[in-house]
Chain A
Amino acid sequence: MRTQILMAGLLAGTSLVAGTAAQAVEIEYWQYVYETRVTAMDQLIDAFEAANPDITVKQVTFPYADYQTRVVAANMARKGPDVLQMFYGWTDQFVGGKVIQPLSPEVFPHDEIEAEFFPIVTAMKRGDDYYGLPTAVRSLALFYNKDLMTKAGLDPENPPKTLDEMVAAAKAMTEMDAGGNLSTAGMTLDMGGQDHQWWREVLVRQFGGEPYSADYSQVTYNDAAGAAALKFYTDLQLVEKVGQRGFMDEGQAAFRAGRAGLTIDGTFRLGSFSSIEDFEWGVTELPANAEGVRSNYASYFANGIGIGAEGEELAAAEKFLAYISSPEAMKIWLDVVGELPARRDVALTEENLADPIYAPFLKGLDYAKTTLFIDEAAQRQNAIDMANRILIDGQSVEESLAQAAEAEQAIIDKAK
């Protein structure tokens, strides 16, 4: 008799569990480990689940170095995530490898996307389909050390606005020790950092060239303008002697340590620079050329929907993606992570535009370009090598540029 009661109770219990399981949908969200990003996502998930009690979202994270491999491997095993974060530059690989699926235009109308997001969102479009939407975007700006500026007799409230002013300021802040070695760099030179983006999308354009054809399928920087841009960059070390590749190991490390006057870096560096206590720093728009031409490089991590999501999971994934791309989510992301909102009206508020730190990055977003990378790591390496051939091996600018253009074209062609 007692066993019968127990059995009945157990049965009732399991059916209850089964009943709720049938109603609730669980979806998985994947991103890489970065403390503030994980915290922000936890907050977003809590808010989302409160509004959608029938959906649970499980956040799964991996170290950045393994992240892409994990996504690809899990996808091979048909255990991929329902919603995942991805660098915009991985889109070709992920679309080609059937990792992500196109966003349904009924749920995410194209005209709304294009009207409300910054134009760089089109880097997620292939053919007629969007494959993801960003929560936040990043751009570049020029960071400057106010203490070093004051020491060099410059006005720390009036940072360089043009390339010429930038070189002059860097020269004034450069210091050598008795042995003729650089002890304070006027400016950091770090192609492996953000300089390759600065050279490609900003300097080449400012010297009158175009880095790539409009669809980024042809390398077009191998001309006089590209050479002038590369010469300007390498001359910072070779002629102006305001910086040196490898100084303090990394550009951002030199700036952090107060050993560099100027450095070009992205929004994502704000978190790390905000803990600097030894000196005051500021940030300003990337310098214009003499004719006032400006450019910038913007990038972002987007959220896409995994190819495995179907039926009610797909519906839940779409709801979740819509929420994490909403103005509300972007505000949380800006507060917690410090990355700029991807929607114009959320980003370009009076409050943000008056913010001395966000404003230069936001202004940059207006005219920023987004390089459509085929293989970001390989293309970055190509730019590093291009500068090193000149700075270390003494190759001529023209030769190194031609070699780099040929090698990068080969990388692009191989992916076709």
Chain B
Amino acid sequence: MASMANQGAPERRPGIPGTPGGQPRGRGLSMRTRQLFWVWGFLALPVLFYGVIRFYPTLNAFWLSLTDWDLMSEPEFIGIDNYTRMFSDPEFWKVFRNTFTYLIVGTPISLVLSFLIAFALDRIRFGHTFLRALYFLPYITTASAMAWVWRWFYQPAPIGFINDLLGRVGIPQMAFLNSTTWALPSIMVTAIWAGLGFQIIIFMAGLRAIPTTYYEAARIDGLGEASILRRITLPLLKPTTVFLVVFSSIGFLRIFDQVYNMTTNDPGGPLGSTKPLVLMIYQTAFSSYEMGYAAAQTVVLFTILLCVSLLQLWLLRER
């Protein structure tokens, strides 16, 4: 809009003195300068917003991580004490392992699943829109509402949905959220299911973007379906895949809603077996009020997110 307004400006220029609200400051400036002026005028708001709401607190967190701020007294500089405490805390490493389990197991499973579903959905015509909507529905559902429904599914008998079914066919109960082994996978299933819809839609858009002429040429050349998938579909889907890998990884590294809502009685439990880094940060900051220590954990999370994103971009770069 800014450029459109400016395009008309040279013609109106001689009339400026008589125009109410005309800009005398614009006189004598080149069109390019004026365009830049407008562009920055419009950009100023988001830049200011991000600067104050995002970047300033982010930078501030680095400083806070070197202090002992407890929200009640003035922060005091304590060097890297928070970091040494964190790295020598077995609880932190457990949480660290949990977070990476969510990432390393969750991301590939969710991507393979969503690709398979998108690939199949792309081929069917009957009920296509309905099925697509069905898969997308969880994505637009509030995470906490979803988590509570799954929490109910996982309960032991007599109220748990899955255990009730198992009981009816004579299979012993699964402990799910009450087991240190199965609680994390149980929550991961919920998280994967919740993100599936979005990934399917993106994959389908990617599949649709591949020109059909490639497929036709391949079939004429006598290539089998498996080869087509391997040599045409997957390589051409690479930009889509890169985007989804990064997006989904960040999602799993920041997992919180599902875990917190499914384990509210013992957040991140049992015995910390499901606790991700973000939940630990939340508890350190808003339950123990150790803001400095929480900031140090945040810096670690920030670094991990940065590294993982850069690593993935590098691994999947265009050669």
Contact = CB atoms under 8 A, between A and B. Distances in A.
Q: Are the chains A and B members of one assembly?
A: yes
Interface string B30-62: 000000000000000000000000000000000
B309 interface: no
B177 interface: yes
Interface in B272-314: 272, 283, 286-289
B156 A384 contact: no
Contacts of A177: 157-158, 167
Interface string A238-254: 00000011111110000
Contact of B71 (A76, A245, A247, A381): A76
Interface residues on A, range: 35 or more
Nearest to B172: A179
A388 interface: yes
Interface string A356-375: 00000000000000000001
Interface string B53-82: 000000000000000001111000000000
A392 B289 contact: no
Given A98-B72, A377-B288, A389 B271 contact: yes
B159 A192 contact: no
Nearest to B285: A69
Given A76-B72, A392-B180, A192 B265 contact: yes
A353 B173 CA distance: 46
Interface string A67-109: 0010011011000000000000000010011110000000000
Interface string A166-188: 00000000000101011100000
Contacts of B151: 249
A385 interface: yes
A181 B162 CA distance: 14
Chain B, interface size category, equals 20 to 34
Contacts of A245: 178
B71 A73 contact: yes
B195 interface: no
A381 B272 CA distance: 10
Contact of A248 (B70, B159, B286): B159
Interface string B240-270: 0000000000000000000000000110011
A392 B179 contact: yes
Interface string B136-175: 0000000000000001000111110001000100101101
A393 interface: yes
A263 to B, nearest CB: 15
A246 B172 contact: no
Interface string A104-135: 00000000000000000000000000000000
A17 B93 CA distance: 62
A246 B271 contact: no
Contacts, number: 83
A247 B288 CA distance: 29
A93 B70 CA distance: 10
A259 B157 CA distance: 11
A80 B59 CA distance: 28
Contact of B72 (A96, A182, A393): A96
Contacts of B158: 177, 181, 183, 248, 259
Contact of A93 (B72, B170, B172, B270): B72
A378 interface: yes
B167 A181 contact: yes
A250 B155 CA distance: 11
A398 B299 CA distance: 38
Given A69-B286, A381-B266, A393-B180, A97 B157 contact: no
A404 to B, nearest CB: 12
A96 B73 CA distance: 9
Contacts of A75: 72
A174 to B, nearest CB: 13
Contacts of B266: 192, 381, 384, 388
A190 B270 CA distance: 13
Nearest to B158: A183
Contacts of B287: 375, 377-378
Contacts of B167: 177, 179, 181
Contacts of B173: 179, 181
A384 B269 contact: yes
A400 to B, nearest CB: 11
Contacts of A93: 72, 289
Given A244-B156, A245-B178, A385-B271, A97 B265 contact: no
A280 to B, nearest CB: 22
A249 B153 CA distance: 11
Given A249-B155, A249-B159, A97 B70 contact: yes
Nearest to A190: B265
A247 B272 CA distance: 19
Nearest to B176: A246
Contacts of B172: 179
Contacts of A179: 157, 167, 170, 172-173
A248 B155 contact: yes
Contacts of A99: 72
B143 to A, nearest CB: 17
B289 A72 contact: yes
Contacts of A247: 156
A246 B71 contact: no
Nearest to B286: A69
Interface core residue of A99, A179, A192, A245 (most chain B CB under 10 Å): A179
Interface string A217-245: 00000000000000000000000000011
Most chain B beta carbons < 10 A, residue from A76, A246, A250, A388? A246
Nearest to B169: A179
Interface string A376-410: 01100100110011001100000000000000000
Contacts of B71: 69, 72-73, 76, 97
Contacts of B289: 72, 93
Nearest to A254: B159
A180 B139 CA distance: 38
Interface of A: 69, 72-73, 75-76, 93, 96-99, 177, 179, 181-183, 190, 192, 244-250, 259, 375, 377-378, 381, 384-385, 388-389, 392-393
30 contacts: A72-B71, A72-B72, A72-B289, A75-B72, A76-B71, A96-B73, A97-B70, A98-B72, A98-B73, A99-B72, A177-B157, A177-B167, A181-B156, A181-B163, A181-B167, A182-B157, A183-B158, A190-B265, A246-B177, A247-B156, A249-B151, A249-B155, A249-B265, A375-B288, A378-B287, A378-B288, A381-B266, A392-B179, A392-B180, A393-B271
6 nearest interchain CB pairs?
A97-B72, A181-B157, A246-B178, A192-B265, A377-B287, A179-B167
